[in-house]
Amino acid sequence: MDRTVIRRSMGYLKGCRIEFALSILMALVYVVSSLYIPLLAGQAIDSLVGKGEVSFAVLKNDLCGIFLTAIACFISQYLLSRLNNRIVYSIAHDMRRDAFAKIEKLPFSWLDSHRQGDIVARVITDVDQVSDGLLLGFSQFFTAVLTIVMTIYYLISLDIIIALVVIILSPLSLIVASFIAHKTHRHFSLTAQKRALQTDMTDEYITCTPEVLCYNLHSSCQDSFNKVNDEWAASSLKGTFYSSLVNPATRAVNSIVYACAALSGALLAVSGRLTVGGLVSSLSYANQYTKPFNDITGVVTELQNAIVCASRIFSLLDQEDVPDDGKEELTGDDISISFQDVSFSYTKGQNLIQHFSLDIESGQHVAIVGPTGAGKSTIINLIMRYYETDEGRILINDKDIRDISLESLRSSFGSVLQDTFIRTATVRENVTMGRSFTDEQVIDACKRAHVHDIIMRLESGYDTMLDDDGGLLSAGERQLLAIARCMIDLPDLLILDEATSSIDTRTEGLIQASFNEMTEGRTSFVVAHRLSTVRGADVILVLKDGDIIEAGRHDELIERGGFYSELYKSQFAVS
């Protein structure tokens, strides 16, 4: 087992030290009380010497002691169960909270390189597996260890020979269990991976149901899922098979231990060294002594799975956060941006942007055009520090972007992207996005975005609940809602990345008038494939293979007859 993972998991006990201490105390009370009963039972048997030779006073005291001890055993076991549940679910709560908080700090590069379903599985399913493993550990491990220790004590107090027989033979069950548990780890690790892949595939297929139906991908999707499902089942069965061997193997060893203890005890009783009651108590302790080993081996098997899941959670928590060491704050309404010899690629060895330089003055309206994959959206991602540059630097108001705090940097931006995000919340909450605005401000922004009439046609207007995929709204309507989200509180710098790609031409013309009003006096970037939307830009940057091959105003670029002119003519069939 990975001791580091276990130690880090136990580190979450800091928030429930009192419950943990009480749990250990209740475990001690439970074990002592449950093991004291066989001793009293043996004494009660010895009080029955023979016909007419019964010590009723001793028998009465022993029976009363058994009754009171049983009550103490019941109460302590109940409290132990409640305390362990509280501890385990507290750990799961804190672990899931930390994992979710970590996701908010992770760089886009890490999130982009990992499947969404895998990340969800770590936060939800893996934490559940860890909590289940810890629950079994808290419930059985402490009581099992205490039972072994106290049983040895009682056995020694009865007769040292029986105690030695039991102690010498008991390690056999641990040897067998450890051998089998080692075999289960690899299969449980593979099971966790396949389970995460299943989650990701299920999420993907449900999200893309229209495409699956349109292209008749039912069989293909089913075959892909069945393949992963079969692999998950195979690894699960193998892991379960090896783990299921633990109990019968240890029970077989325990039966041998019990038989040896019974034989030695019988010989001692015949020789007169041990009473009949003492023999009964010794055999009861020998039987109880072997049971904790079964519990421990079962715990070890579950912990194998829990540790695999915990290691996946900690690998998420150990990822480096987005660097946010900047202390500078962006102040003032004027924003100028300078790219100085910037190079960047998403994958090492695959060059995208190479030695890119550009100076953008405050208040300029900049349009970025070019073929797909030219690096248009990448420039936006670098400005907003979704990704870090490989070389060079970006200056905003003559300050290195890495010296500016992320909160200050991003609060100065407003963006409308091609892929529109819709929260599972009301229309009003989707416009305000956690910010405080009056109803009048929300309605005004929606009117300027030409989405107010659409909202009012919904069942509850601005109080209508939307799904996370905006199911009640079309792609174009969702994009209008995102535009209203940006219009309600105009920032100092605007980024419009294919902001009208899903909007009809007529509405696009109306939105363009609102955009012109929004961008007046503000530094703005517009990424567009529709060149009709960028004709009024102060400067148009034409990108190809990550390089600026042309720059200028629309009329100037048309007159040059270069790449931009070819793009424009291809869209509008200008001869």
- Write down the pLDDT at residue 52: 57
pTM over 0.75: no
What average pLDDT does range 152-167 have in this prediction?
83
| Tokens encoding 363 | 């208040």
Six-digit token string for 474: 């079309």
Q: Residue 116 has what pLDDT?
A: 79
What is the rounded average pLDDT of the residues 490-504? Answer: 76
Closest CA to 16 of 172, 134, 125: 134
Q: What is the mean pLDDT of residues 236-262?
A: 77
- The residue length of the chain stands at 575
Phi/psi of residue 499, nearest 5 degrees: -70, -15
Task: For the domain covering 3-317, report its CATH number.
Answer: 1.20.1560.10
pLDDT by residue (tens digit) across 195-204?
878 887 887 7
Q: Does pLDDT of 65 surpass 80?
A: yes
Q: Percentage of the chain with pLDDT > 90?
A: 5
Per-residue pLDDT averaged across 500-510, rounded? 70
Place of tokens 């509280």: 86
Q: What is the mean pLDDT of residues 473-491?
A: 82
Mean pLDDT, residues 329-343 taken together: 83
Instruction: Give the per-residue pLDDT at 428.
Output: 92
Q: Which two tokens stand for residue 569?
A: 């003519």
Domain ranges of the chain: 3-317, 422-490
Question: Sheet of 353-360: strands edge to edge?
Answer: 353-360, 337-344, 391-396, 399-400
**Which tokens belong to 96?**
């899931």
- Whether the per-residue pLDDT at 169 is higher than 80: the answer is no
pLDDT of the residue at 75: 94
Mean pLDDT confidence for 503-527: 76
pLDDT at 213 over 80: no
- Look at residue 121 and tell me whether its pLDDT is greater than 90: no
In contact, 335 and 524? CB cutoff 8 Å:
no
Q: What is the reported pLDDT for 469? A: 60
Residue 268: the pLDDT is 82
8-state DSSP, 106? S
CATH code, 422-490: 3.40.50.300
Per-residue confidence (pLDDT) for residue 108, from 0 to 100: 80
Q: Would you say the C-alpha torsion 560, 561, 563, 569 has a positive or negative sign?
A: positive
Structure-token pair, residue 63: 């029976």
Q: How far is 491 from 476, CA to CA, in rounded Å?
A: 23
Q: Which residue has the higher pLDDT, 354 or 351?
A: 354
Q: Dihedral of the CA atoms 171, 177, 182, 186 (nearest 10)?
A: -170
Q: Where are the beta strands (DSSP E) in 444-486?
A: 465-466
Tokens of 546: 């990550």
Buried b / exposed e over 138-174, threshold 16 CB at 10 Å, is bbbbbbbebbbebbbebbeebbebbbebbbebbebbe
Mean pLDDT of the chain: 81
Whether the per-residue pLDDT at 497 is higher than 70: the answer is: yes
Mean pLDDT for the stretch of residues 413-439? 84
- The reported pLDDT for the residue numbered 575 is 42
Task: Give the mean model confidence (pLDDT) for residues 145-169.
Answer: 83
Q: Which of 208-217, 353-362, 515-524 has the highest mean pLDDT?
A: 353-362
| Contacts of 241 by beta carbon, 8 Å cutoff, 6+ apart | none
Cα distance between residue 17 and residue 83, in whole Å: 11
